[in-house]
Amino acid sequence: MLATRVIPCLLYQDGSLVKTVRFKNPSYVGDAINAIKIYNEKEVDELIFLDITASAENRAPDLEIIKQIASECFMPLAYGGGITSLEQVREILRVGVEKVSFNSAAINNPQLITETAKAFGTQCVVVSIDVKKNFWGKPEVYGDRATQSTKENPVGFARRMEDLGAGELLLTSVDREGTWEGFDIELVGKISNAVKIPVIAHGGGGKLGDIQDVVKFGKAAAVALGSLVVYQKKGMGVLINFPKRKNLLELLS
């Protein structure tokens, strides 16, 4: 495994993988199982799988899909989407998922984070934090697929999630997501310096150098990639891929 984890982040909607830009305009990417088979061949170290409409549609996690994904996935898997109870967490972990990711629940029912950490350990608890700049350019934590501001400062929110029992944070810059413009290094750095748990930088990765920069200057413990691992290049067609391990080792050594 790489010292710094580089993780495909797959977005799932209505039975297929999609890719969004700033959380909007989902474009079809392909079949989840086929994508995971390719990542298995690429010897990816870890995978994040997010059902991006489950919470908005008040749907429980689709255990059948999760079971299929987990049985096909040869690497550690984190699942997020629609989780609202400890029993759902138990069922998800039971079918072979290693980590659960909380987003809406972290805002609406933060006690669930503590309950999960106590029941199953902090190592399986990921809190997904979506950050977007408001009208005045101030970063705030957003919920409901980045449509509703919580008015909370990202640093304070991250610290609170750590105190509640989060084992790591998936930090997404909504303004950068799907743009290929590079990570929000300033945001990642502020959060990384404020907490002791690992921060996974997500949103904006467009080239291998972006990975190196957010690790070196933003102190990210891991990097999650979307566009870079599902498209050939910016503006070109779908190609499920992953950087060569040799290139990643050179970047992150």
Question: Which H or E run includes 250?
Answer: helix 245-252
CA torsion through residues 233, 171, 97, 52, sign:
negative
For residue 17, the one-letter residue type is L
246's CB contacts (< 8 A; 6+ apart) are none
Q: Which positions are annotated as active-site residues?
A: 130
Q: How far apart are CA 47 and CA 45, in angstroms?
A: 7
Count the Cβ atoms, other than its own, within 10 Å of residue 113.
25
Token pair in block for residue 211 = 């990975």
DSSP SS3 for 116: helix
Distance from C-alpha of 61 to C-alpha of 138, rounded to nearest angstrom: 33
Tokens of 198: 């690992």
CB count in 10 Å sphere of residue 137: 6
Nearest to 22 by CA among 132, 133, 149, 178: 178
Rg (CA), the chain: 17
For residues 248 and 43, the answer to whether their CB atoms sit within 8 Å is no
**Beta bridge mates, 99:** 78
Closest by Cα among 25, 7, 3 to 201: 7
